[in-house]
Amino acid sequence: MSDKRNVQILPPETFANLKLTKMKDKAVGIPAIISSMRHISKEMGIWRGIKLLNKMNQKDGFDCPGCAWPDPDGKRSGLGEYCENGAKAIAEEATKHRVTPEFFAKHSVEWLSEQTDFFLGKAGRITEPMYLAKGSSHYEPISWDDAFAKIGEKMKSLNSPSEAVFYTSGRTSNEAAYAYQLMARQFGTNNLPDCSNMCHESSGAGLSQTVGIGKGSVTLEDLYESELIMVMGQNPGTNHPRMLTALEKCKKNGGKIVSVNPIPETGNNTFVDPQNPLAIMKGGTKLTDHYLQVKVNGDVALLKAIMILMLEEEDKRPGEVFDLEFIATLTEGYEELVADIRSASFEAMIEQSGLNEKEVREVADLFISKKKIIICWAMGLTQHVNGVDNVKEVVNILLLKGSIGKPGAGTCPVRGHSNVQGDRTMGIWEKPKEGFLSKLDTRFGIQTPREHGVDAVESIQASLDGKVKVYVFMGGNFISATPDSKLTGEAIQNCEMTVQVSTKLNRSHCVTGDEAIILPCLARSDKDEQKSGLQFVTVENSMGVVHKSQGRLDPPSKHLKSEPAIVCGMAHAAMGSEKVNWKEMADNYDTIRDHIEATIAGFDNYNTKVRVPKGFYLPNGARDRNFGTPDSKAHFSIVKAPNRQVKTGHLIMMTIRTHDQYNTTIYGMNDRYRGIEGERRVVLMNPEDMKEQGLTNTQVVNLVGEFDGEIRRSNNYKVISYSIAKGCCATYFPEANVLVPLKSVAKGSNTPVSKFIEIKLEKVG
Ligand SMILES: Nc1nc2c(c(=O)[nH]1)N[C@H]1C(S)=C(S)[C@@H](COP(=O)(O)OP(=O)(O)OC[C@H]3O[C@@H](n4cnc5c(=O)[nH]c(N)nc54)[C@H](O)[C@@H]3O)O[C@H]1N2
Ligand SMILES: Nc1nc2c(c(=O)[nH]1)N[C@H]1C(S)=C(S)[C@@H](COP(=O)(O)OP(=O)(O)OC[C@H]3O[C@@H](n4cnc5c(=O)[nH]c(N)nc54)[C@H](O)[C@@H]3O)O[C@H]1N2
Ligand code: SF4
Ligand SMILES: [Mo]
């Protein structure tokens, strides 16, 4: 390691300036408008900001770069179709601040690595391609041609294509993603890890094995007309704010809402629609009817307890609780599931869930009486050792009710990054299907590899083992987003070359391979002009709607290229344009869409259909009860309640997002809804646990992780007394990622277990 740069892999462990206020009991409303405008005016100027926001999520505008929540199919609000976090995302992206060659000349990578993620992100948009030579301490400007040539030469020099890895973060457009996977596969590897590996991979695995499609089955309309929506392991008020509008519509139509979460998140509580003056005056709509403060990872136990009560009632009134006709004609494995439910102990399930019997019975009554049920979930279910099982148990309960593939009912994994679902549809996956690969081979006259590639966690291990020489990152912030930060840092530093296609600076530009290249790209809101004229891109939201997105702003620098143009540039340099006409694709994205149409199902007449303003729905078998499993049936699964215990005195820690960040991009230092301001190094604890451990509010502790006999540490956190299930605590991602063991992964999806980390606290001073 001696010739490596002396960069800091971890963010500084120093405190900022903690201020505690009360946890908020209402979400959105006027404070959200004020917060949005503060970010907009600080980053981009108020008028420029408002003008741009008026185009966001409109049919002729651009897609919000925030989350993957869908826009209404019908009329869009003239007052704006965005939320506080959409506004923050755009403020961050369309900022006036710039990271120029002069900035890089002034600051060494070592110095930059000592700064916080907040500082790095706030530095601004990167304006020119930059090159960090082997042994050098500073990035220097490089021309696009030279950058592409260096990457092409490096790729050609490898002993095997599998020495290259191509990561994707989920903001990448369909067109860029398609070109990118094609480049990797023409080159000869399926090494295409993505952020989804760390996110909803467990949903993809659980859903495809049971209902034959790795995506959710509901539409926005279904949420409006559902009788019962259960929100599990998700914090929509912060991470999918416009979901609150859909939940409110459901309530107004008479639906009930249950929230299952170790923390009573504000957004799950009361929603004040900022566009409705009456709602503001009245104080908003109470969304959650039943809040279940489940223990971390107590979800299967809860679902089993509910199913036990449902079965008891079904035994008394056959056919009135379960949808027996649906079960008989369209499912497999019902008898086995019933036997499994009968063998489970109600008391044990209640105990493991951390809940009391009365509250579970109340919720079970809803599952017994309602017929149109939706379950929504996110990282609280997927980022567990049994993440895939969590999803399968969700499917079990929905299948018992026939609540899949009918209006007002179904599965709703709420996706994260704004085009993460589209990227998968485009083939960003390390385990591609044979049918897709053979279509690529026929279309382009190439021979794509059949051997599976590495996912995110496997790629880190492969780099540690010296098997990866080149790592290309299509967006994202791999160093900060992945588990076991120190190991990941070592892994990346083991590479000969790292290439980042980025809009903004982050830790991954500081912790690099021997040589590093930054290729600065246009963002969603930027105008994209190519040889054939103004271009647009397309994206797919959480509910499978593909639509157009066209940026409006003059790009922050004339030296930027679009993501598709960058991919085509790299690919041409590495492989030439004989088989795949990369130049033509970069010049006119219609040609990329023609290739997509020819090789991926559901994209017939793509170029025509996507020009219709609201876009189009992709086929979804589960939605039509046409299950894509080998026997065309939906499958019940036998799932065990995990009952994972930690040592006495230890805590189960979950890593979560604040209200002021987008993954590793830190918008600000506040977590407004939770009443925590000015500080990110905090650990939220149950007051009883604090008492048992002799801790007082704001006391400083170090977090010591224990996994498989290995110890990991993260220093300097302030303890905060909080309403959280006993025995559990919470810290913020990404500061605490150093404590997530690389080997602690979900069975069947290999997703890092970011929500169940065994730790003990060590008092400081
Ligand atoms: N503003 C903003 N929006 C975002 C993001 C962002 O960072 N900022 N990130 C985007 C991305 S990529 C994603 S994937 C999504 C993430 O969206 P979420 O999944 O909502 O994000 P997390 O903060 O990880 O929150 C997980 C929630 O699950 C709860 N939880 C944790 N463990 C358990 C458990 O065992 N059981 C149950 N029932 N609950 C549990 C936590 O208390 C928390 O409320 O949001 C997307 N949208
Ligand atoms: N402990 C813990 N770890 C987690 C999670 C957790 O809950 N807990 N969540 C996981 C999840 S759900 C996810 S999705 C991953 C996220 O992992 P990533 O997707 O890798 O991380 P982000 O922070 O979203 O990436 C931010 C960077 O993307 C770049 N960027 C922004 N916009 C664009 C664009 O338009 N184009 C390009 N090319 N680049 C752009 C900017 O440089 C920015 O710094 O993290 C995972 N890690
Ligand atoms: S809900 Fe998500 S997609 Fe919609 S405006 Fe907010 S951040 Fe953007
Ligand atoms: Mo995510």
pLDDT in tens, 229-276: 999 999 999 999 999 999 999 999 999 999 999 999 887 887 777 777
Pocket test for ligand 2, best of 90, 120, 171 (most atoms within 8 A of CB): 171
In this prediction, residue 248 carries a pLDDT of 93
Instruction: Point out the ligand 1 atom lying closest to the alpha carbon of residue 236.
Output: 20
Pocket test for ligand 1, best of 23, 28, 67, 302 (most atoms within 8 A of CB): 67
E strands present in 160-288: 164-168, 228-232, 256-260, 270-272, 285-286
Q: What is the CATH number that goes with domain 651-763?
A: 2.40.40.20
- Our answer on whether the CB atom of 382 is closer than 6 Å to any ligand 1 atom is no
Query: Three-state DSSP class for 655?
Result: strand
In this prediction, residue 78 carries a pLDDT of 61
Residue 1 clears pLDDT 60, i.e. is over it? no
Pocket test for ligand 3, best of 33, 81, 85, 420 (most atoms within 8 A of CB): 85
Instruction: Point out the ligand 3 atom lying closest to the alpha carbon of residue 242.
Output: 1
pLDDT range class, residue 2, cuts 50, 70, 90 = very low
Among the listed residues 501, 499, 592, 503, the one whose alpha carbon sits nearest the alpha carbon of residue 555: 503
Rounded Cα gap, residues 99 and 115, in angstroms: 15
Buried b (16+ CB within 10 A) or exposed e, 13-29: eeeeebebeebbebbbb
- Our answer on whether the CB atom of 262 is closer than 6 Å to any ligand 1 atom is yes
Q: Which residue has the higher pLDDT, 29 or 591?
A: 591
Residue 510 clears pLDDT 50, i.e. is over it? yes
- Separation of 133 CA from ligand 4 center, angstroms? 32
How much is the average pLDDT of 190-201?
98
Rounded Cα gap, residues 563 and 566, in angstroms: 5
Among the listed residues 254, 347, 354, the one whose alpha carbon sits nearest the alpha carbon of residue 308: 347
How much is the average pLDDT of 593-617?
96
Residue 296 Cα distances to 381, 383, 384, 397, angstroms: 9, 11, 9, 20
Rounded Cα gap, residues 693 and 550, in angstroms: 54
Residue 518 clears pLDDT 50, i.e. is over it? yes
Tell me the domain boundaries of the chain. Answer: 116-197+419-615, 201-413, 651-763
**Overall fold of domain 116-197+419-615:** Rossmann fold (3.40.50)
Summarize pLDDT for 411-443 with one digit per residue, the tens.
999 999 999 999 999 999 999 999 999 999 999
- Separation of 736 CA from ligand 3 center, angstroms? 26
Domain 201-413 falls under CATH 3.40.228.10:
yes
Chain centroid to Cα 2, Å, comes to 36
Summarize pLDDT for 126-169 with one digit per residue, the tens.
999 999 999 999 999 999 999 999 999 999 999 999 999 999 99
Summarize pLDDT for 462-488 with one digit per residue, the tens.
999 999 999 999 999 999 999 999 999
Lowest mean pLDDT among 4-8, 350-354, 452-456: 4-8
- Stated as kind and residue range, the H or E segment containing 616 is strand 616-617
Summarize pLDDT for 660-687 with one digit per residue, the tens.
999 999 999 999 999 999 999 999 999 9
Q: Look up residue 598 and give its two tokens.
A: 């020819």
Instruction: Point out the ligand 3 atom lying closest to the alpha carbon of residue 85.
Output: 7
By the 10 Å C-beta count (0-12 exposed, 13-18 middle, 19+ buried), 343 is classed as exposed
In this prediction, residue 280 carries a pLDDT of 66
- Our answer on whether the CB atom of 241 is closer than 6 Å to any ligand 3 atom is yes
- Separation of 219 CA from ligand 4 center, angstroms? 20
Q: Which ligand is nearest to the CA of 93?
A: 2
- Separation of 61 CA from ligand 1 center, angstroms? 28
Summarize pLDDT for 360-397 with one digit per residue, the tens.
999 999 999 999 999 999 999 999 999 999 999 999 99
Summarize pLDDT for 31-83 with one digit per residue, the tens.
878 888 888 888 888 888 888 888 888 877 888 899 999 988 776 666 567 78
The single-letter DSSP state of residue 467 is -
- Our answer on whether the CB atom of 378 is closer than 6 Å to any ligand 3 atom is no
Lowest mean pLDDT among 79-93, 537-551, 690-704, 734-748: 79-93
The shares of helix, strand and coil residues in the chain, as percent rounded to the nearest 5, are 40, 20, 45
- Our answer on whether the CB atom of 236 is closer than 6 Å to any ligand 3 atom is no
- Our answer on whether the CB atom of 32 is closer than 6 Å to any ligand 1 atom is no
pTM for the predicted model, two decimal places: 0.97
What integer best gives the mean pLDDT of the chain? 95
CA dihedral of 284, 289, 290, 291, whole degrees rounded to 10? -10
- Our answer on whether the CB atom of 240 is closer than 6 Å to any ligand 3 atom is yes
For residue 97, count other CB atoms closer than 10 A to its CB: 15
In this prediction, residue 55 carries a pLDDT of 80
Q: Which ligand is nearest to the CA of 560?
A: 2
Residue nearest to atom 12 of ligand 1 (CA): 416
DSSP characters for 539-578?
Answer: EE-TTSEEEEE---BPPS-TT-B-HHHHHHHHHHHHH-SS
Rounded Cα gap, residues 522 and 561, in angstroms: 6
Query: Three-state DSSP class for 337?
Result: helix
Pocket test for ligand 2, best of 85, 117, 198 (most atoms within 8 A of CB): 198
- Separation of 169 CA from ligand 2 center, angstroms? 6
- Our answer on whether the CB atom of 268 is closer than 6 Å to any ligand 2 atom is no
The alpha-helical segments, DSSP class H, found in 142-193 are 144-157, 174-187
